Amino acid sequence: MKLIFLGTGTSFGVPQIGCQCAVCHSADPRDKRTRVGAVVETDTGTRLLIDTPPELRGQLIANGIDRIDAVLFTHEHADHTHGLDDIRAISVRRNGPLPMYGSAAVLAGLARRFPYIFDESMRPLPGTTKPEGQARAIVPGDAVQIGDALVQPVAIPHGPATVFGYRIGPLAYVTDAKSIPQEAASVLRGARVLVLNALFRTEHPTHLSISEAIRAAEGLGADRTYLTHLTHDNFHADLEAELPAGIMPAFDGLTVRIE
């Protein structure tokens, strides 16, 4: 299995608009962070896109990805969904709409925001195209088979909201978590690779801080943990140097192979 980090930044991205801090002006390409998204590819070629961040077109081009078999949504916040229109370049080459998985509430919200993508009665004019998606609601506790990937959605608190984490074989992917409840931990524990959000060094009402993410990672016990949803508060190199063994910051374009 292969995990490709398309984007690893917070909702502002890095650099932030108008910010003059040293990280936002860093020459290290790992300090340039687009909004969070990822692709999971199985050994036989099933490709799952996790979220559709605003920079999706550029992210897919930068990573040489021209085919996706399904989209998994964690939640409907703009930094995770507002690149959805970019799936047009994917769906026009398919024999049918692109399957899109998420909670019923998230899919309903996206259908209101992007009705032309989900409504089959809204057809493009002759000579034009439109992105096409097919909403498929899933619930925690019920795994779904997508190609040769068994996907288990996991309910995670994100402040007052609930997001979906995903267990896909040896991979556990969690973003925008504030905590990892015991029920979720029982599904995520045992993964070889864990992806976990880590925002500030101080506490935040809806996200894990870096220290909280470290404690959560140690509790879940993956061989390798990659931190994502990172801000301009830290240089990549400095954060990498101070994290415990087995925990490291991800960066845009990082490819992780999972045996």
Q: What pLDDT score was predicted for residue 97?
A: 95
Tell me which amino acid residue 205 is. Answer: P
Q: How do the domains of the chain map onto residue ranges?
A: 2-257
The rounded distance, in Å, linking the Cα atoms of 62 and 84 is 17
| Angle, alpha carbons 70-72-75 (nearest 5°) | 150
Distance CA 35, CA 37 (A): 7
Q: Report residue 154 as tokens.
A: 């996991």
| Topology given in CATH for the domain delimited by 2-257 | Metallo-beta-lactamase; Chain A (3.60.15)
Cβ count near 91 (within 10 Å):
18
3 state SS of 142: coil
Chain centre distance of CA 219: 21
pLDDT value at position 196? Answer: 97
Tell me what pLDDT residue 29 has. Answer: 98
Which tokens go with 96?
Answer: 């049918």
Determine the pLDDT at residue 210: 96
Q: What is the pLDDT along the chain (259 residues), one digit of tens a residue?
A: 999 999 999 999 999 999 999 999 999 999 999 999 999 999 999 999 999 999 999 999 999 999 999 999 999 999 999 999 999 999 999 988 999 999 999 999 999 999 999 998 999 889 899 999 999 999 999 999 999 999 999 999 998 889 999 999 999 999 999 999 999 999 999 999 999 999 999 888 989 999 999 999 999 999 999 999 999 999 999 999 999 999 999 999 999 999 8
The H or E element that residue 154 is part of is strand 149-158
> Which of 21, 89, 94, 96 lies closest to 52 in space, CA to CA?
89
pLDDT at 242: 96
Q: What is the pLDDT of residue 96?
A: 86
Sheet holding 2-7, edge to edge: 133-137, 98-102, 70-72, 47-50, 37-41, 2-7, 255-257
**Which candidate, 9, 5, 3, places its Cα nearest to that of 197?**
9
Measure the CA–CA gap between 19 and 17, rounded to whole angstroms.
6
Rounded CA separation 142/222 (Å): 23
Report the candidate in 101, 240, 103, 255 with the shortest Cα–Cα distance to residue 193: 255
Q: Which residues, other chains included, contact 88 with Cβ-Cβ below 8 Å and sequence gap of 6+?
A: 129, 130, 131, 132
Whole-angstrom CA distances from 81 to 52, 93, 107, 112, 197 are: 5, 21, 11, 13, 17
